[in-house]
Amino acid sequence: MLSITQSTSPGICRICSAHCGVLATVTDGKLTKVTGDPDNPMFKGYTCAKGRALPEIHNNPARLLHSQKRQPDGTYAPVESERAMDEIAALLRELIDRHGPRSVAMYLGTNGLPYPASPLMANAFLRGIESPMFFTANTIDQPGKQIALAAHGHWLGGDVNFNEADSWLLVGTNPIVSKAIGIPGQNPAQRLKEAIGRGMKLIVIDPRRSQTAARAAIHIQPRPGEDASILAAMINLIIREQLCDTEFLAQNVEGFDELAEAVGGFTPEYVAERADVPASQLIDAARLFATYGTRRGMVNCGTGANFAMHGSLLEYLALCLTTICGRWQRAGEPVTRPNTLLPAYTAKAQPLPPYEGWDYGERLRVRGLTDTVSGMPTAALADEILLEGEGQVKALICIGGNPMAAWPDQRKTQRAMEKLELLVTLDTEMSLTSRLAHYVIAPKMQMETPAMTQGSELIKYYAAGTGIPAAYAQYAPRLVEPPPGSDLVEEWQFFLGLAKRMNLTLFFVNFFGGGGGRYMESPPIVLTMDADTDLTTEELFAEMCATARIPLDEVARHPHGKIFDVDAVVQERDPDCMARLDIGNEYLLGDLAVVLAEDFRSARDDAAFPYRLIPRRHPNFMNSSGTNLAGLNRGKPYNPAYMHPDSIAALGAQLGTAVTITSPHDSIPAVLEPDDTLRRDVIAMHHAFGGLVAEDAEFRHRGSNVGRLVPTDIEYDAITGLPRQGNIPVRVTAGIAG
């Protein structure tokens, strides 16, 4: 009889920023089962479908076990990782010699989350070659969050605890599925159920009656793209009815008169017509948020709302609404996110004033775009590759991302990828982008590497309403060895390997603060690395946590994770503090004037494009990852075009009908699916599906690339370059064009 070796250990799922505590079962050296960990004090046995599918993800037959090199005939052949690093380093040296450091760019996608050292080392490598061209997924998702914080300033007492809130406002986000913003990501459905059970009132603004909206006390279901108008109307009414926290405003805020004037035209009646919602709903929502309970609660906006243009303005109005109602943690109250594997800090009931958020640093060659606190504008990177001349990007390294699935304007993106002299991806399989790469570096997967929750804590600097709302931390060792005979590298070690071959000295910086490093709660940790550096990931983690409030060794002594006893209280304002939050930013309120001047009636009556396409989160996928796995796609590897049943009937169509969706820019094929949670004038689709440009015929097997419908150079945020990726005007016709 064969002997079976099996063990079950606590671990951390790192598919998303929630970092759920899980139990991982390894059988004869293979990951075979992942479940929630009932002994984890934060998650209490919760995990999602993506986490439970980790064994299928790890053991995917399509997983790369060896790095790949493109051959002259376009096929791929295995290449030893050390040899690949030799060749890539030599090619990078040659390109830098010919074209300068700016010719090398890097793109960091959301799948960098599982490996906290990797983004930092990738950034250190790019700084080591003196290239400014570091791009991330942030600027094609919600870059307005950091722009708004720079213009508004930060409240150093921190945000209100959701678990103690009286009301909460969510705009274009569905955290029950996304586990990202607003409701804590540690079992969000249960957190929301408990909050409503104790009396919290939830307000949701969403064109779809999502899983989160279905639980709201007030669900405003507007025409897409009117989120900024709705928040302006709420601010207008709160100011007009004198429902503001005047004491908080007098001590901490400037720009009130400018804000009041800017929202003056956004009456509930006017916005009700724009948004096609009852004016009474807007009035009720404003009064509830401003007056219900004891002033606790905040505003959070999501991807859906940010995609619809005016994202920076929207996020700024969300902060202004929070601030005029005084919805921040005050002196004497507990600190909501007190840090555990991050350094201890002193929270104070005072502002950190606005700071420079854009129009500095590297200036791109297109559309007048510059570096910002949210990062370099990713939507312009394809242009930087395609535009001939000095400064042209010749090489791109992608880590944890899939531009061909995720970037807007897929046709332009593919032309750019094919034009590169060197495209390197670090990928677990031959994704769309990897299929165009010169080298594909095969990395280890998450359960093959150690894990810690410092990265999940760091998310709090991204925006209010994110991060871990407790002094919680967990560390997990490697739980499974890489498959026998494989040749896999950890991503951070790949970049250190390149640096050694190029004789670079890298400065690995782990900083603890927001605003792209423009303010810090604690001094950064700086590690110098060169040809003599010899570190394990475990040793690097120890260095990254050297100034942690709770030492990493202590955290590791609690394998199921622990909520530590940290008595952190918001301190009184410094006597000499003169700083103020700014709710009257001239530039962003100028954008509100642009919204007011829009001819919304003509846009509504455009017979050529009668529908509006909005994004939608999929509960089983993290962007483009896992769509080819049967356990996750459940027989549906495509992304349907969801429409209200009445709208489908009006087309003379039905479930499963193939249609063509056309925007002013391009067309895609899709499969119809009814959804009565949508407005009748709205279509919803998941992003990051589809094949390469020539593979549209495979849409039932690969899905449809929504980014194909989006131009990058017509409607875009002038600061971040983010194009309109939601509220896309479209028409739907039965059958497949062409």
pLDDT tens by residue, 381-395: 999 999 999 999 999
As a 3-state breakdown, the chain gives helix, strand, coil percent values, each rounded to 5, of 35, 20, 45
CA dist., res. 364 & res. 120, Å (int) = 23
- Residue where a domain terminates, one of 554, 587, 620: 587
In this structure, is residue 45 part of a structural domain? Answer: no
Q: What ranges make up the beta strands (E) of 221-374?
A: 253-254, 299-301, 351-352, 358-363, 370-372
Please check whether residue 239 is in contact with residue 204, taking contact to mean a CB–CB distance below 8 angstroms: no
Q: What is the pLDDT of residue 600?
A: 87
- Residue where a domain terminates, one of 557, 587, 617: 587
Q: What is the pLDDT of residue 585?
A: 98
In this structure, is residue 201 part of a structural domain? Answer: yes
Total domains in the fold of the chain:
2
In this structure, is residue 410 part of a structural domain? Answer: no
Q: What is the pLDDT of residue 52?
A: 93
Name the token pair of 73: 């005939």
- CATH number reported for the structural domain that contains residue 226 in this entry: 3.40.228.10
Within 10 Å of residue 646's Cβ, how many Cβ atoms?
10
Angle at 357 between CA 353 and CA 360, to 5 degrees: 130
Q: What is the pLDDT of residue 517?
A: 62
pLDDT at 113 over 70: yes
pLDDT tier for residue 622 given thresholds of 50, 70 and 90:
low
pLDDT in tens, 69-99: 999 999 999 999 999 999 999 999 999 999 9
Name the token pair of 350: 């005072």
Q: What is the pLDDT of residue 463?
A: 79
pLDDT in tens, 587-597: 999 999 999 99
pLDDT in tens, 1-33: 566 899 999 999 998 888 999 999 999 999 999
Residue 574 DSSP label = P
In this structure, is residue 384 part of a structural domain? Answer: no
- Residue where a domain terminates, one of 532, 557, 587: 587
Q: Higher model confidence: residue 738 or residue 68?
A: 68
CA dist., res. 317 & res. 183, Å (int) = 20
pLDDT at 670 over 90: yes
Residue bearing tokens 């004891």: 294
Please check whether residue 727 is in contact with residue 224, taking contact to mean a CB–CB distance below 8 angstroms: yes
Residue bearing tokens 């700071």: 355
Residue bearing tokens 């406002």: 169
Please check whether residue 167 is in contact with residue 292, taking contact to mean a CB–CB distance below 8 angstroms: yes
In this structure, is residue 295 part of a structural domain? Answer: yes
Name the token pair of 428: 């677990």
Mean pLDDT, the chain, integer: 93
In this structure, is residue 529 part of a structural domain? Answer: no
Residue 343 DSSP label = P
Would you give the distance in Å from CA 265 to the centre of its chain?
33
pLDDT tier for residue 465 given thresholds of 50, 70 and 90:
confident
CA dist., res. 259 & res. 317, Å (int) = 9
In this structure, is residue 456 part of a structural domain? Answer: no
Please check whether residue 353 is in contact with residue 184, taking contact to mean a CB–CB distance below 8 angstroms: no
What spatial distance separates the first Cα and last Cα of the chain, rounded to whole Å?
Answer: 60
Name the token pair of 287: 């009064």
- CATH number reported for the structural domain that contains residue 633 in this entry: 2.40.40.20
In which domain, by residue range, is 671 found? 606-734
Give me the phi and psi of 270, to 5 degrees please: -65, -45
In this structure, is residue 694 part of a structural domain? Answer: yes
This prediction has a pTM of 0.96
